[in-house]
Structure 1
């Protein structure tokens, strides 16, 4: 790790410590247990945003497939052969539209997570490239 990053990390720690020293906590400003739990929940949501989004998409697809299959079965038809393919295509279409509206928050959280990861990898790549240039 280059000396510049160590210096920047120390400066951030000093800034954070200075901000904590200057902040005067009163009874009204003290975080409550629910605030701490909400912050922990938000961190957990951000940590697994991609898995949560993918799981919910699959769940919506399976639910829409079940609903469509039930509607076809309610009409007295038996789904066989190409009918299964048509039902799956219909469920894919229905679940895509439903997830567009229902999963917007999860999609935004996933986008933030992917962007942060990409930036970290790009920074690491730049750091490694600059180390090779110094030799």
Structure 2
């Protein structure tokens, strides 16, 4: 589960960084006033696109871990099924 924690923490950090940048730019452009809703929406979109490119390695590591665990679970299920058929 280490891969999950690392990927999730990096996504959250990327969102918070995006949010800070968006709020800063909006505050500069709009003389200190900004709409929190639109700041969150823009930060969410920006961090989503950025994570697609920047967090590719972490996402792949997490996917490999999930695939390995699923393969082990499927093999164990097939083994139990075969043992049950013999009995």
State the TM bucket, normalised to the shorter chain.
0.7 to 0.9
Q: What is the TM-score with the length of structure 2 in the denominator?
A: 0.85
Q: Larger Cα Rg: Structure 1 or Structure 2?
A: 1
> Deviation at 1:134?
2.2
> Deviation at 1:72?
1.3
Q: Distance in 2 between matches of 1:73 and 1:114?
A: 42
Which of structure 1's runs of 4+ aligned residues deviate more than 3 A?
A: none
Superposition RMSD on alpha carbons, in Å?
Answer: 1.5
Of 41, 46, 54, the match for 1:89:
41
Q: Distance in 2 between matches of 1:62 and 1:131?
A: 52
> Deviation at 1:77?
3.7
Correspondence list, 1:70-109, <5 A? 70-75=24-29, 76-79=31-34, 83-109=35-61
Q: What is the TM-score with the length of structure 1 in the denominator?
A: 0.58
In structure 2, the gaps of 5 or more residues are none
Specify the alignment match of 1:12 in structure 2.
none
Higher RCO structure (Cα 8 Å, ≥6 apart): 2
More helix by proportion, 1 or 2? 2
Comparing 68-77 with 99-108, greater Cα deviation is found at: 68-77
